[in-house]
Chains A and B, each alone.
Chain A
Amino acid sequence: MNGLVWKLLRKNISGAQVATYFIALLCGVAMVMLALQFRHDASQWLNPEANTPREFITVSKIVDRSGFNDNSFSVEEIDHLRREAWTDSVAPYISGDFSVMLSMNLGGQISTSMFLEAVPDFFLDTIPDGWSCSPDTRTVPLIIPRDYLTLYNYGFASSRSLPRLSESTLSRLPIRLTLSGNGRSREYDARIVGFSSRINSVIAPEEFVIMANRVYGQPGDNRPTRLIIRTYADSDRINRYLSENHLERSGEGTDTSVLSNAVKLLTTILIAIGSAIILLSVIIQILCLYLLVEKNRRTTDRLILLGYSPASLRRYYLLFILLSNLLTLMTASLLTPAVATLWRSMIPSAQFTPTPYIAGALIIIVLTLPVFPMLRSSIK
């Protein structure tokens, strides 16, 4: 590179044109890079640890209008679910196939019919102290949904001027369960030992319900109607499967598919706008370069007359464009993480991804490519 040649060729460079091109390209590239960064970070937020099972959902068959359709799951259906990529562990709720009468003293004796269910301990969100049961047990530990207590405190108790109950108070309440069926009946003491946010049922230890079914239940095929599943966070696939198989879900799993789709749509729009700006800046680039080459035509001809090859003169323009584009890429690469801090403080799990930077580099390479034929046809 000859400094004197560059001195000749640069005299017609318009600062305003270069600034316009630089700013336009920077806006476009930064917008695309930020959109990709946001999409990546948001997906980590919406689906953290996508490869680690983390959510527990309860699925059941949708009840039809008649209310008498068969809502139970067959062994094949459960196996089919187990083979799905989004399931990690699947277990049926074990329903108590017997009558349960609960009575307790809250200033006055209350009693109500109820039911018992069980799930393997693995699926419980907490395993409280005293959560064990032997065949000759007299006291049955129970876990009830935390929502029940909330409903009582803020719905029933408030409207009836009854005292509100804390979890510890409720845990101390003496409860009596009367199990009957199959021509037999027996009373048990019971105690609420825990509250679950995950399982929306009254849960007793699995061994107890199995034993009680054997003693008080009707012999025969007792197929489950609800399944508890530990899933991989993949809302789209889960929702698709449930919809195709007429199932519905409940539980702690968060349905992030709508938000996820909104993020995808938003970032796609941003990428489209950014791409349009980049396209416009490429047009500005080519026009500015063409104008510069034409303004330098007389100088270029004289340099060629001196012995400079057209290819060597093209290199000056090319280097100028490459440096300008590289500066744009570097600025956009600095801007991206700086702007991303605005939302990254809310997503501490967000990890580095090279995708925006690779995309930015590819954009710069692709938009530099048209410069080669343009210069080749203009300086020869």
Chain B
Amino acid sequence: MNTITLRKLLPEVFADERDSHANGNVWLTELTFRRGQRYMLHAESGAGKSSLCAFIYGLRTDYSGELIFDSTPVSTLSPANWSEIRTRHLAFVPQNLSLFPEMTVIENIMLKNRMTDCRTDGEITQMLQTAGIADKRNTPAALLSLGQQQRVAIIRALCQPMDFLILDEPVSHLDEANNLIMAQMIDSALRQNGAGLIATSVGNPLLITPITPLTL
């Protein structure tokens, strides 16, 4: 997957206020995200950042306009296609992280890695050490702080091949030092895969460069 194109896309919830959403770079325009490029979506709460991530990842379809992967409208994709896309082409960290609270850190990560067979045990251990949560390896996710959970969710997302990485406010609960550590880890994975990045921020952006800012 080399491009993700938004053609006059607008969440249905904004249908009655089209004018107020026509001034940004994303809604009601033609916007193409390209593989290898990095994009940072800045907006205040309620502007539709998480909605856009969910649209691209195929979790929601409550929008008007068109969403196209390369030349394929996403409306034509089957559940099996989506499974393949989420395993091989799109990696995603949702705002709510979607960890399994009763499972340990390593179990949460292995749920992804066993499916993709992307990382070795050694690589995963190294990523946990880099993120500063190696000692939490066997701790249930429910017992972690939000910042630690965000780091687990990011590592899990990086355990797959990808064309694009979608991060919905991924470091909102991290301090600057940990933000930089995770940004380096993400940068390394993006370079390794030649992947693009679509990240959102509401005030504490991922400290990764270079990146193209967009407003909603």
Contact = CB atoms under 8 A, between A and B. Distances in A.
Nearest to A309: B83
Contacts of B92: 305
A303 B111 contact: yes
A306 B59 CA distance: 11
Given A2-B115, A4-B107, A4-B111, A305 B79 contact: no
Nearest to B112: A306
Contacts, number: 50
Interface in B82-113: 83, 86-87, 92, 94, 98, 100, 102-103, 107, 110-112
Contacts of A310: 79, 83
Contacts of B86: 305-307
Nearest to B79: A310
**Interface hub of B83, B94, B102, B114 (most chain A Cβ within 10 A):** B83
A63 interface: no
B177 interface: no
A304 to B, nearest CB: 8
Contacts of A5: 111
A283 interface: no
Interface residues of A, number: 19
A150 interface: no
B170 to A, nearest CB: 15
Contacts of B156: 306
A187 B160 CA distance: 116
Interface string A260-291: 00000000000000000000000000000000
B103 A305 contact: no
B199 to A, nearest CB: 18
Interface string A290-312: 00000000010011111111111
Contact of B114 (A4, A8, A304, A305): A4
30 contacts: A2-B111, A2-B114, A4-B103, A4-B114, A5-B111, A7-B103, A7-B107, A8-B100, A8-B103, A299-B100, A302-B98, A302-B100, A303-B111, A305-B57, A305-B86, A306-B86, A306-B98, A306-B111, A306-B112, A307-B83, A307-B86, A307-B87, A307-B112, A307-B115, A307-B116, A307-B160, A309-B79, A310-B83, A312-B83, A380-B79
Given A2-B115, A307-B160, A311-B79, 15 more contacts: A2-B111, A4-B110, A4-B111, A5-B111, A7-B103, A8-B100, A299-B100, A302-B98, A306-B98, A306-B111, A307-B87, A307-B116, A308-B83, A309-B80, A310-B83
Interface of A: 2, 4-5, 7-8, 11, 299, 302-312, 380
